[in-house]
Amino acid sequence: MEVGASNMSKDDNNPLRKLVNAEREASEIIAREERYRSKRLQEAESVVQEIYEKRRSEEETKFQQEVKSNDGEGDEKLKVLAQEVAAEKAEQGRLYDAARETAIGTLLHVVTSCEIKVDESQRQAFLAIKREKEQGSAPAH
């Protein structure tokens, strides 16, 4: 038995054995910490989700209360806005009509006041075309 005891003491002093044991212990510690970390992350996620749901519920309730308290008020604002838009539209229509009349008047003045000059060759060509059309549309006797 003394031989087994001496082998055991030799194994305890063996640096390679100590290194293997240390690596095994480190692996166990790492695995345990990874499980613990995963569990902590799940717990944190759960807490955040609860906080989010609570906050969302509070905001929804607050919004619904604001909607109820503003009933009717929004309708009046909308009516006033609709009247303002209608007034602005009428003003723009009036301005368009006034500008339209001015533009048409200006165009008519320019068209009627310009002098058209046609030289003799253009006049003769026009008359020739006019005669051809008259002869083509004249009834045959």
Cβ(11)–Cβ(17) below 8 Å: yes
- pLDDT value of residue 117: 82
| SS3 (DSSP) at 117 | coil
- pLDDT value of residue 101: 85
95-107 residues labelled b (16+ CB within 10 A) or e (exposed): eeeeeeeeeeeee
Give pTM, 2 decimals: 0.34
Per-residue pLDDT of the chain (141 residues; tens, 9 = 90+): 444 444 545 556 789 999 999 999 999 999 999 889 888 889 989 999 999 999 999 999 998 888 777 666 667 788 888 999 999 999 998 988 888 888 888 888 888 887 878 889 998 999 999 999 888 766 555
Q: Which two tokens stand for residue 4?
A: 């087994």
CB-hemisphere CA count at 13 Å for 46?
Answer: 6
**End-to-end CA separation in angstroms for the chain:** 153
